[in-house]
Amino acid sequence: MRVTSTFKVVYTSPIILNSHPGTMSELLAEIRKIPPVTRFVCASTIAVTLPVMTKTISAYTMIFVKEFVTKRREFWRIYTSFFLGGSGINFIFDLAMQYRNTAALESYYDGRSADLAWQLLFASASIIVLNIPLGTFVHTRALMVAITYVSGQLSPPGTQASLWGVLTFPVRYFAYALVAIDFVIGGKEAVLSALTGIVVGHLWWWGVWESRVLQELGRAPGWMKALIETPPPPGPAPGASGGSSSRSRRPGAQTTGYNWGSGHRLGNG
């Protein structure tokens, strides 16, 4: 996924198959094209939500209840509480938005998906800590808001977001639009949980990307890199002779509103 000068929220399927009748191998090939962290997030949402939608598993076993986690050791609730989506058409909309925003964020990591996965762990832990006093059972929306906030802050200046094809505004404010929607639909409780995503997203962006005071903490350990990232092919890497990023850019478009300086990409020594 490349950075473009516009950003539209389009509710379409994240997997686009060939025009010929698909086979299982073709389907798997299309899935493998999705960036690894985005693939994990979307697959987790489907795996957790569909059994609840079909009433195979009770939603009560998927939500976060602190006493059940700490006293009964039902640790899976930590994981499932971040991927329990809505029902019906809302699930399709939320999944498409989750795919779009996560893929947009992962594109800024330029092949360093392990760093993104590592930072998502810290972001998720922070969301849980902030939501425990609120008694929140599901953290899906807060995580989506955090991802959307960071992606919006890293977007090129002037990038626009289109909400339902009706409202158009700078993409860096799109996370706040999600909070406003939650307030209209869910009221005070929903908006408080979504605001924790804003807080975590801002600290994430500021600490890792803007001030870089958390840059070292945000670098993935070796075992996670080995688990997620594909080793580069042998031979000189593109752009190895200089300190600039090898990621292609749209002519005339800026990738950030701040100066990283030469040779200071995230994750480099």
Q: What is the CATH number of the domain that holds 63?
A: 1.20.1540.10
From residue 157, how far is each of 12, 100, 153, 164, 254 by CA, in Å? 26, 19, 9, 22, 7
In this prediction the pTM is 0.77
pLDDT for residue 235: 53
220: region left, alpha or beta (phi > 0 left; psi from -120 to 50 alpha)? beta
- AA identity, residue 234: P
pLDDT for residue 88: 84
Helix axes 36-53, 113-131, angle to 10 degrees: 40
Distance of CA 267 to the CA centre of its chain: 18
Residues 6+ apart with CB under 8 A from 233: none
93 falls within a domain = yes
Q: How many domains does the chain have?
A: 1
pLDDT for residue 234: 57
pLDDT for residue 231: 62
Q: Which domain holds residue 72?
A: 6-13+32-227
Residues 6+ apart with CB under 8 A from 184: none
Can you name the residues that pair with 167 across neighbouring β-strands? 163
Query: 161-188: buried (b, 16+ CB within 10 Å) or exposed (e) per residue?
Result: bbeeeeeeeebbebbbbbbeebeeeeee
pLDDT for residue 10: 39
255 falls within a domain = no
61 falls within a domain = yes
131 falls within a domain = yes
Mark the ranges of the chain whose per-residue pLDDT is less than 50: 1-19, 237-269
1 falls within a domain = no
Angle, CA 239 vertex, CA 236 and CA 241 arms, to 5°: 75
CA atoms of 12 and 251, how far apart (whole Å): 27
90 falls within a domain = yes
pLDDT for residue 244: 34
Secondary structure letter of residue 60 according to DSSP: G
- AA identity, residue 152: G
190 falls within a domain = yes
CA atoms of 254 and 242, how far apart (whole Å): 19
Contact yes or no for 141/201 (Cβ under 8 A): no
Can you name the residues that pair with 8 across neighbouring β-strands? 162
Contact yes or no for 148/104 (Cβ under 8 A): no
Q: 84 is written with which tokens?
A: 């329990």
pLDDT for residue 237: 44
